[in-house]
Amino acid sequence: MNNSRFNQALATLSPNDAQALTNALGNQSFSGQIPASVIAPIQTQPEALPQWLNFAAKFAITPVSNFNVGALVIGHSGAAYIGANMEFAGQALSQSVHGEQSAINNAWLHGETGISQLFVNASPCGHCRQFIREIAQPHQLQVYVLGKDQIAFTKLLPDSFGPDDLGNKFALFEQPLQTFTGAIQSPLIDEIVKHANASYAPYTGYYHAIGLITSDERLFVGRYAENVAYNPSLPALQSALSQLRFSGYDIIDIKRSILAHKTEQKINMAEHYLSLLKQLNSLNLDLVKLT
Q: What is the pLDDT of residues 89-116, one digit of tens each?
A: 999 999 999 999 999 999 999 999 999 9
Interatomic CA distance for residues 35 and 103, integer angstroms: 14
Please pick, among 100, 112, 134, 226, the residue that the annotation labels catalytic.
100
Interatomic CA distance for residues 198 and 147, integer angstroms: 36
Q: Please give the pLDDT value at position 47.
A: 78
| Positive/negative CA dihedral, 226, 227, 228, 231 | negative
* CB distance 81 to 73 below 8 Å: yes
Evaluate if pTM is beyond 0.95. yes
C-alpha of 277 from chain center:
18
Q: Please give the pLDDT value at position 194.
A: 98
* CB distance 106 to 82 below 8 Å: yes
Q: Within the chain, which residues score under 70 in pLDDT?
A: 1-2
Catalogue all structural domains in the chain, each as residue range(s) with its CATH number: 4-164 (3.40.140.10), 187-289 (3.40.140.10)
Q: Please give the pLDDT value at position 49.
A: 83
Q: Please give the pLDDT value at position 137.
A: 94
Q: Please give the pLDDT value at position 2.
A: 56
C-alpha of 51 from chain center:
21
Active site residue 217: no
201-212: buried (b, 16+ CB within 10 Å) or exposed (e) per residue?
bbbbebbbbbbb
* CB distance 133 to 228 below 8 Å: yes
